[in-house]
Amino acid sequence: MNEQRIKEILNMEPDHRYVEIHGWIRTVRTSKNVTFLEVNDGSCLKNLQVVLDHQRKELADLVPSLRTGASVSVQGDIAPSLGKNQKLELNATAVALIGPSPEDYPLQKKRHSFEFLREIAHLRPRTNTFGAVARVRNAVCYGIHSFFQERGFIYVHTPIISSNDCEGAGETFQVTTLPLKDIPVKENGEVDFTKDFFGKKASLTVSGQLEGEVYALALTNVYTFGPTFRAENSNTSRHLAEFWMVEPEMAFCDIHGNMDLAEEFLKHIISYVLDHCTEDMNFFDTWVEKGVTASLHHVLDADFARITYDEAVDHLEKADRSFEFKPFWGADLQSEHEKYLTEEVFRKPVIVTGYPKEIKAFYMKQNDDGRTVAAMDILVPRLGEIIGGSERESDRTKLETRIKEMGLPKEDYWWYLDLRSYGTVPHAGFGLGLERFIQYITGMQNIRDVIPFPRAVNTAEF
Ligand code: ATP
Ligand code: MN
């Protein structure tokens, strides 16, 4: 294994100590007496400049075969650099090509479009942008775990294969081993799922929440963090068919505790990334979304606005502008509405609570007014909704009524309803889409560029 990474070397003093590095050549510049290689190993954004002195014959002989994309190992000493772009460089004493030197490497020095890079997703992590996205994504995940672990939350693994489209959150992907050419049917012509692998209809999970509640009502504070699947048939820049979701669930917690935790959580992961990915975040600030780090610092300093859905609709109806979707009480907030509230009215994140029950899921706690539920969405500037959550209905009778009203199959929820008979308590939780969050903090426009291998309509090549 490689002992020394370029990130560590770049932080050393140029004291002529001897090192060995491994990486991939980003660029080659040759002049009469020397050749400069920019080598990157993914440990950080910056490349290490390697200098080959042509007076060393074995190095000069190697130069014609050193090309962009080649994998190399280099030994040498760290010296002060005369160039203005770096404080140190590696004076090579020995260079070895690890693999054959590519002559038709698809990644050239010019800037490639993100669309093109999606077609070569096996090579795009070797670009500045995708290396930075990967490191930021890694830090976000670490920050998520550290937030919950430091607060005594238990990480629970909820299933990927589920037999209830619990929330009606979206179109599901079915999981089946039935032969597609000869599907068993019942007398009434419907598919006979008793013959299927699980003996019933199954699909990929759209959320781990219902199972999260099971564990919260035993361990008090838990979180799930894993892949979720929605057969979103739309080609948007904010929807994937496979994405990651973080879902904490807290017993003995109401909607206010839920909001407090969610605000603290967002601030924690933002500051974790700003502290640990300074170089990558500066890169996004310069090349992807100007001002993105300042806007994140602003969020850290702000108390999130907290308003009710009624107040939100009020603001929208009074707005001196026309929206594409006219706001009215009872309609879901559209992304133009979310932008208006966060960017123009409050100029900071906004938590909206008390949505009409008709537009929210069956499990949300019904408010005393009979028309709203204890839902909370967190809206942020530039992106809109980033977190959706609620206090859950803990009263069995009310929950059963709601399931019936919404025409859901009550028998599928027997275990979920049982939680309200055996030791029910107020409890609450929320979900954060990991990729939406990464889009938000990096300013990356398309969600397909913040997950290594995007899954979307007609997209599953890599
Ligand atoms: P939207 O209205 O944007 O489709 P939603 O209301 O379906 O979102 P929820 O069911 O509340 O979203 O899911 C919780 C979180 O998961 C969302 O706030 C969002 O961050 C994320 N999310 C939802 N659908 C997707 C998707 N298809 N791809 C990526 N992230 C998603
Ligand atoms: Mn959706």
Please state, in angstroms and as integers, the Cα–Cα distance from residue 252 to each residue in 220, 326, 417, 427, following that order.
7, 38, 18, 5
What pLDDT sits at residue 232? Answer: 87
CA 377 to ligand 1: nearest atom: 18
- Domain 6-97: state its class: mainly beta
Residue type, 33: N
| Domain ranges, ordered by start, for the chain | 6-97, 124-171+206-449
CA 169 to ligand 1: nearest atom: 10
Determine which helix (DSSP H) or strand (DSSP E) holds 79, and give its type and residue range.
strand 71-80
Please count the other Cβ atoms lying within 10 Å of the Cβ belonging to residue 326.
10
What pLDDT sits at residue 427? Answer: 98
Residue nearest to atom 5 of ligand 1 (CA): 169
Give 75's DSSP letter: E
Q: How far apart are CA 100 and CA 71, in angstroms?
A: 8
CA 245 to ligand 1: nearest atom: 16
Ligand 1 centroid from CA 357, angstroms:
18
Please count the other Cβ atoms lying within 10 Å of the Cβ belonging to residue 99.
10
CATH superfamily, with its number, for domain 124-171+206-449: Bira Bifunctional Protein; Domain 2 (3.30.930.10)
| pTM for this entry | 0.95
CA 275 vs. chain centroid, Å, equals: 18
| Angle at CA of residue 222, ends 216 and 224, nearest 5° | 115
Give the SS3 label for residue 3. coil
Place of tokens 């008793």: 194
Q: Which residues have CB under 8 Å from 392's CB, separation 6+?
A: 213, 363, 364, 365, 427, 428, 429
Q: What is the pLDDT along the chain (462 residues), one digit of tens a residue?
A: 557 899 999 999 999 999 999 999 999 999 999 999 999 999 999 999 999 999 999 999 999 999 999 999 999 999 999 888 889 999 999 999 999 999 999 998 788 999 999 999 999 999 999 999 999 999 999 999 999 999 999 999 999 999 875 555 568 999 999 999 999 999 999 999 999 999 999 999 999 999 999 999 999 999 999 999 999 888 889 999 999 999 999 999 999 999 999 999 999 999 999 999 999 999 999 999 999 999 999 999 999 999 999 999 999 999 988 999 999 999 999 999 999 999 999 999 999 999 999 999 999 999 999 999 999 999 999 999 999 999 999 999 999 999 999 999 899 899 999 999 999 999 999 999 999 999 999 999 999 999 999 999 999 999
Place of tokens 């698809």: 106
Q: How far apart are CA 381 and CA 108, in angstroms?
A: 35
Residue nearest to atom 4 of ligand 1 (CA): 239
Mutation choice for ligand 1 from 238, 390, 444, CB with most ligand atoms inside 8 A: 238
The answer to whether the CB of 385 is under 6 A from ligand 1 is yes
Nearest partner of 304 among 356, 346, 269, judged by Cα:
346
CA 206 to ligand 1: nearest atom: 10
For the chain, the C-alpha Rg in angstroms (whole number) is 27
